[in-house]
Amino acid sequence: MTTDKPLTQHINQDKPLAMPEYIDVGGYRSVDKILQQMSAQDVQDVVKDSGLKGRGGAGFPTAMKWSFVPKFEDTDPRSGDDKYLICNADEMEPGTFKDRWLLEGVPHQLIEAMIIASYAIGANKAFIFLRGEYHLAAKRLQQALDEAYQQGYLGDNIRNSGYQLDLYLHTSAGRYICGEETALINALEGQRANPRAKPPFPQVSGLFGKPTIVNNVETLCNLPHIINHGADWFKQLSNNDDAGTKIYSVSGRVQRPGLWELPMGITVRELLYQRAGGLSPGLNLKGFLPGGASTDFLTVEHLDLVLGYDEVSAAGSRLGTGGIIVLDDQNCPVAMVLNLLKFFAQESCGFCTPCRDGTAWAVDALTRIEQGQGSQQDLDNLHKLCDFMWLGKTHCALAPGAVEPLQSALKYFHDDFEQHIDKGCCPYSGHH
């Protein structure tokens, strides 16, 4: 039995499936399959064929990432060294709440998926790095883990295959930067979560200096289905070149904010109007962030844009997490950007100069503009800061992420900025 909503078909937000029920609906079948019939390389090959790309924001091909884990000859003294799989469940990008849905609604699916990924890269220890605020998810995951251990799907000698995997839940102490995979590794090591320099990539020197793969929750959750139904099936799920489905979400002042698992490559219009019901009464669409807080604004003219990795990039933004945040015409765009930049300034780890001081500077300038005390100089500074914090100039992608909504707002909502300065007040005040 196949489905067009593999990720969410068994979601039950109120009471997720317990282990036996989950097994009844076909859960953990993929684990038996790989343990009995497939080598690690086989698993990697299927995933490669499926075209699965990372759903954590960057869209990097998953199998390719796995292939960077060094494969030592048996004679190499390092061949017996530990390797780690980490599930990035630190979802903290504003406007993004898809992983929460999967974690709370069907925790066993993630465990099943992590067994597959661990097996594929040869890891015997894996961690779920869960953001600290997701208490319900933590409870449900822990229960699912306990069940999986009891049923012999985790621990020594899983299903008598000789394969051993220990999977632990780790809850974070709260920090957006922990979502960045190398910062996450530092956090897991009990250190300050400053990102690490790359290279070396974590696939080579990650957790405790050992080869480590970090994958997003949604990315991983695709694995059981790819194993069960094959690469071709997975590819045909989508409307475009990106394989599979995607969990899209919409927030902001729309009629029906929420989450939907849909084929990769639907249009913005379909998502915004068919699923989310369009804007709330009396409001018009002014713009939107297509994939979370760290993506560039798009506007009304992009309604027919296809929500795929390449398509959104071509339009000057990023698919990111697929979480659309809608700006209506009664909310002040300057205030919105200010809110976003405050977030990034607040969550900057403080390691590199452009981000540490640049985001705070942007907040200062935006605050002044929003309060009607801004000047042309502030606007100039904002333009400069966009360049200053851009990719390659910072130590990690947080600051460039902050630049995306800022630079696009300066482009699309230029008049609003000018008005704030000219009028000496926020033209929207009273509304937002």
The verdict on 86 binding ligand SF4 (CB under 6 A) reads no
Position among 41, 284, 346, 376 found at the interface with another protein (CB under 8 A): 346
Smallest gap from residue 411 Cβ to another protein (A): 19
Backbone dihedral angles phi then psi of residue 122, each to the nearest 5 degrees: 80, 30
The interface with another protein within residues 163-182 (CB under 8 A) comprises 168, 170-176
Q: What is residue 425's DSSP assignment?
A: S
In terms of Cα–Cα distance, which of 188, 174, 206, 53 is closest to 128? 188
The interface with another protein within residues 300-319 (CB under 8 A) comprises none
Closer by beta carbon to ligand FMN, 216 or else 408? 216
Give the integer Cα–Cα distance in Å for 409 and 357: 21
Helix, strand or coil for residue 22?
A: helix
The verdict on 354 binding another protein (CB under 8 A) reads yes
Smallest gap from residue 37 Cβ to ligand SF4 (A): 43
The verdict on 242 binding ligand FMN (CB under 6 A) reads no
Position among 250, 355, 385, 386 found at the interface with ligand SF4 (CB under 6 A): 355
Give the integer Cα–Cα distance in Å for 227 and 431: 51
The interface with ligand SF4 within residues 147-206 (CB under 6 A) comprises 177, 195
Do the Cβ atoms of 112 and 29 come closer than 8 Å? no
| Residue span 22-61 as binding mask against ligand FMN, x where in contact by CB under 6 A, dash where not | --------------------------------xxxxx-x-
By a kind-dependent CB cut-off of 5 to 8 A, residue 224 interacts, out of another protein, ligand FMN, ligand SF4, none, with none
Give the integer Cα–Cα distance in Å for 348 and 363: 12
In terms of Cα–Cα distance, which of 318, 27, 62 is closest to 144? 27
The verdict on 85 binding ligand FMN (CB under 6 A) reads no
Rounded to 10°, the helix 40-50/29-37 angle is 120
Contacting residues for 135 by C-beta, under 8 A, at least 6 apart? none
By a kind-dependent CB cut-off of 5 to 8 A, residue 187 interacts, out of ligand FMN, ligand SF4, another protein, none, with another protein
Tokens 């985001």 label which residue?
359
Do the Cβ atoms of 234 and 50 come closer than 8 Å? yes
The verdict on 294 binding ligand SF4 (CB under 6 A) reads no
Smallest gap from residue 346 Cβ to ligand SF4 (A): 11
Smallest gap from residue 351 Cβ to ligand SF4 (A): 4
The verdict on 397 binding ligand FMN (CB under 6 A) reads yes
Helix, strand or coil for residue 306?
A: strand
The verdict on 92 binding ligand FMN (CB under 6 A) reads yes
- For 262-293, b/e burial (b = at least 16 CB within 10 A) is bbbbbbbebbbbebbebbeeebebbbbbbbbb
The verdict on 356 binding another protein (CB under 8 A) reads yes
Smallest gap from residue 196 Cβ to ligand FMN (A): 11
By a kind-dependent CB cut-off of 5 to 8 A, residue 427 interacts, out of another protein, ligand FMN, ligand SF4, none, with none
Smallest gap from residue 326 Cβ to another protein (A): 8
Position among 30, 44, 215, 348 found at the interface with ligand SF4 (CB under 6 A): 348
Closer by beta carbon to another protein, 219 or else 321? 321
Q: Select the residue whose beta carbon is closest to ligand SF4 and give its number.
A: 355
In terms of Cα–Cα distance, which of 97, 188, 172, 181 is closest to 132? 172
Q: What is residue 199's DSSP assignment?
A: S
Give the integer Cα–Cα distance in Å for 321 and 97: 9
By a kind-dependent CB cut-off of 5 to 8 A, residue 399 interacts, out of another protein, ligand SF4, ligand FMN, none, with ligand SF4
Give the integer Cα–Cα distance in Å for 315 and 306: 10
| Residue span 206-225 as binding mask against ligand FMN, x where in contact by CB under 6 A, dash where not | --------xxx--x------
The stretch near ligand SF4 (CB under 6 A) out of 16-24, 86-94, 351-359, 410-418 is 351-359
Q: What is residue 176's DSSP assignment?
A: G
Position among 159, 170, 342, 356 found at the interface with ligand SF4 (CB under 6 A): 356
Closer by beta carbon to ligand FMN, 30 or else 88? 88
The verdict on 352 binding ligand SF4 (CB under 6 A) reads yes
Give the integer Cα–Cα distance in Å for 95 and 213: 25
The verdict on 328 binding another protein (CB under 8 A) reads yes
Helix, strand or coil for residue 297?
A: coil
Q: Residue 343: enclosing H or E segment and its boundaries?
A: helix 333-347
Side chain identity at 6, as an amino acid letter? Answer: P
Q: In Å, how far are 24, 126, 222, 239, 306 from 4, measured between CA atoms? A: 19, 29, 12, 12, 19
Which residues are at the interface with ligand FMN (CB under 6 A)? 54-58, 60, 62, 65, 88, 90-93, 176-177, 179-181, 214-216, 219, 396-398, 401
